[in-house]
Chain A
Amino acid sequence: MMYNKKKKGMIDLLQVEHVTKRYDNILAVDDLSFTVNDGSIFGLLGENGAGKTTTFRMINNLLKMDEGKILLDGKPITYKETDKIGFLTEERSLLTKLTVKEQVIFYGILKGMDEKTILEKLDYWLERFQITEYKNRKIKELSKGNQQKVQFITAIINDPKLLILDEPFTGLDPINVELFMNVIKEFKEKKSSIIFSSHRMEHVELFCEELVILVKGKCVLQGKLKDIKKDYRKKNIHICGTIDIDKIKNLQGVLDINQTPEETIIKIASDDYIDEVFEIIKKGQNITKFSVEDPTLNEIFLNKVGEAYETKI
């Protein structure tokens, strides 16, 4: 499997090289390789049980891999290195009997920080996430969304060089998703690297630069998002107006036609078929839109996962 090689002398922040992990007879991660550069946002995608959480656990030194190696700043990950990592687990990992302040101090000190610095940063982040009034409240008294904010603060309190976000937007309303995204982008600007997984492809598409799609622990697609989209041959043609659907259906290379009240979307096998479609559209009436667009990441994901199952990887 290909992974990015940097210029001589430059080391990628995170290097995952030919990593394999088995649970008894189950292959959870199969020869996975990828690199994450400084200040980039990397997406690790896959359906449930694809091996994302196992990969995150190995990066966090929680699980030992059977084969391969994982390097952070060019060094194997030890407890000294994990201080540079911020980790937001998919499920809530908060001690609900503690107050927000106690919880953040607890995780902050485990990241090697001193209490004074933690408290200064805590005040900033509480204000930023608009939950200052909950500082001394027990976590169990907070709403799901606010608990997620606290969990997010615990992950970023140490200004991590590598931020691992496993389903970070769970339980958040659109306003708070926006807030989280802005903070993630800020970390990117500060040259932190972010790996994140999400089932919401629109989120991944919005700010992921590179990604890996896993199916049953195996990498089925990898690379820069724009390259993936570019290389992906299938296209979508968006049309507004009255057209002869039957004629288009009979064209070679037309895979599917989806009609909505606003527009008609024609899926074609490659851009080689655009001209033929255009010839028919020209003869239609009241045509106000003809746009050839790349498929969404969701489509690519579904397609790749489907293909992987068809080839029985």
Chain B
Amino acid sequence: MKQKFKFLIKQSLNKKIKTKWFKLANIFLCIALICLINIDKIITFFGGDFESEKTIIVVDELNIYDTFEKLFNETNNLETKNYKLEKANEPLETLKEKLKDDNLLIVDIAVDQSSFIKASLISYNTIDTTTKNLITNVLSNIKTSFVATNAQIDNDTLNALLSPVNLNTITTNQESEENENKETIQTIVAIILILPCFFLITMLVQMIGAEVNDEKSTRSMEIIIANVSPKIHFTSKIISATAFVIIQALLLVGYSFIGLVVRTSLAGSQNITPQLNNIIQLLNQSDVVARLINALPILLILFVASFVSYAILSGVLASMTTSTEDFQQLQTPLMIVLVLGYYLAIMAQTFDGALFIKIMSYIPMLSFLVSPTLYIFEQISIIELAISATIATAFTFIIFKYGLRIYKVGILNYQSSKLWQKMLKSLKNKE
């Protein structure tokens, strides 16, 4: 029987892994993850308008070009926009004829009797808001300077007037000050942790359901159950499906690692978008990873127990149905529970310390998404995480015990009349 059990696990796992579709899906996943991690490099590689240099020709009737250039360069801190300033040496009408694309702009600055300066921004197409705001800010500063000079304010006073107010942030909690970027890191880690889980559980439910359904609808279930007990069959399905999910998760980690290696090996990435590199650096510095490593055994138990719970329930539901269509409908409540867990985990980041979310973190089938998120955000301790894992494990054993009773009856039942009555009756059957 042990040999048959091993064979059933191997056979079920091979059915999922040794297929061209699994290979194709993983090639796609690998490429997608590598691309995602290196998305900035890919965008830069293909180029686009963000790279082109905008030439701004200043028609200066006030003789303030030098001040305009100085203030413009000081104000422009946009990394993705390149500007080149030029003082006009041709008449405005001649310059207007040169406007053929978005890379040339004309700023016409003139004297205004009432408001000192009037200016026009002339372009071929509609100008983007960023550039417009930048020029407006520069001109407003020039105006202030112009007015101050006319009012005979000395240079030091003028500089003091024009310099921006430095908002110095002070927090009395030293820890809080030290962890300025912690929240960002926590959000990122939580998403990295819960998104793949959501994705993997969806796969798990579909796979186990389709497999049980296939064996049942082709009546091969009768031959299988004539030779191995429903318990052996059910357990083999759960183990193979969970093993599949773990293999897929490890592959995803592997693909992410390849993506990071590609990123590191490609020179110059720091110059393009330093944000991702900063995140990786912050991740290394923060204690989030250390906390996760501390709780790793508990997290693994919680994840495995929850995966097994979903596998058991999808197997039981599939055993009750006779077609894939019926299973698709019957699995909807299971998917809603999964989505609920996902949203609670997302909301945990917004509703800091919410009692309802904390209670939900102990509920099996939700806890594997909510508890780790709360733990990362330091809203629950490692003890509370361990309690969630214990409840999830106990729940798994209970649903296996009672689920098996339904499974035994369900897999050989082809009638849809009085289905729920039969299944409820089977719960009482201790054999």
- Listed in ascending order, the chain A residues whose CB lies under 8 Å from chain B are 24, 57, 60-64, 79, 82-83, 85, 87, 89, 91-97, 106-107, 109-112, 154
Bound together, the chains give a CA A93 to CA B214 distance in angstroms of 11
7 residue pairs from A and B, CB less than 8 Å apart: A24-B418, A62-B412, A79-B227, A79-B228, A95-B218, A110-B224, A112-B4
Quick one: given A60-B226, A62-B412, are A109 and B214 in contact (CB under 8 Å)?
A: no
A62 and B220: CB pair below 8 A? Answer: no
A82 and B227: CB pair below 8 A? Answer: yes
B221 CB contacts on chain A under 8 angstroms: 93
Q: Is B215 an interface residue (CB 8 A)?
A: yes
Q: Is B219 an interface residue (CB 8 A)?
A: yes
Q: How far is the CB of A276 from chain B (nearest CB, A)?
A: 54
Given pairs A109-B3, A112-B3, 4 additional interface contacts (CB within 8 A):
A82-B226, A82-B227, A87-B222, A94-B218
Bound together, the chains give a CA A112 to CA B3 distance in angstroms of 8
Bound together, the chains give a CA A309 to CA B218 distance in angstroms of 34
A110 and B214: CB pair below 8 A? Answer: no
A61 and B226: CB pair below 8 A? Answer: yes
- Please report which residues of chain B, range 1-37, place their CB below 8 angstroms from some CB of chain A when the two chains form the complex: 1, 3-4, 7, 11
A97 CB contacts on chain B under 8 angstroms: 214
Q: Smallest CB-CB separation from A90: which chain B residue?
A: B219
B219 and A87: CB pair below 8 A? Answer: no
Q: Smallest CB-CB separation from B7: which chain A residue?
A: A109
A111 and B220: CB pair below 8 A? Answer: no
A89 and B223: CB pair below 8 A? Answer: yes
Q: Smallest CB-CB separation from A60: which chain B residue?
A: B226
Quick one: given A60-B226, A62-B225, A82-B226, are A94 and B220 in contact (CB under 8 Å)?
A: yes
Q: How far is the CB of B325 from chain A (nearest CB, A)?
A: 18
A64 CB contacts on chain B under 8 angstroms: 431
A92 and B219: CB pair below 8 A? Answer: yes
B226 CB contacts on chain A under 8 angstroms: 60-62, 82, 85, 87
Bound together, the chains give a CA A63 to CA B413 distance in angstroms of 11
B215 and A95: CB pair below 8 A? Answer: yes
Q: Is B125 an interface residue (CB 8 A)?
A: no
B220 and A95: CB pair below 8 A? Answer: yes
B214 and A95: CB pair below 8 A? Answer: yes
A107 CB contacts on chain B under 8 angstroms: 223, 227
Quick one: given A64-B431, A87-B226, are A106 and B11 in contact (CB under 8 Å)?
A: yes
Q: Smallest CB-CB separation from B8: which chain A residue?
A: A110
**Which of A57, A62, A112 has the most CB atoms of chain B within a 10 A radius of its CB?**
A62
Bound together, the chains give a CA A106 to CA B218 distance in angstroms of 15
A87 and B223: CB pair below 8 A? Answer: yes
A110 CB contacts on chain B under 8 angstroms: 4, 7, 223-224, 227-228
B214 CB contacts on chain A under 8 angstroms: 95, 97
A112 CB contacts on chain B under 8 angstroms: 3-4
A62 CB contacts on chain B under 8 angstroms: 222, 225-226, 412
Q: How far is the CB of A148 from chain B (nearest CB, A)?
A: 13
Bound together, the chains give a CA A57 to CA B222 distance in angstroms of 8
Q: Smallest CB-CB separation from A109: which chain B residue?
A: B7
Bound together, the chains give a CA A79 to CA B5 distance in angstroms of 13
A92 and B218: CB pair below 8 A? Answer: yes
Q: How far is the CB of A75 from chain B (nearest CB, A)?
A: 16
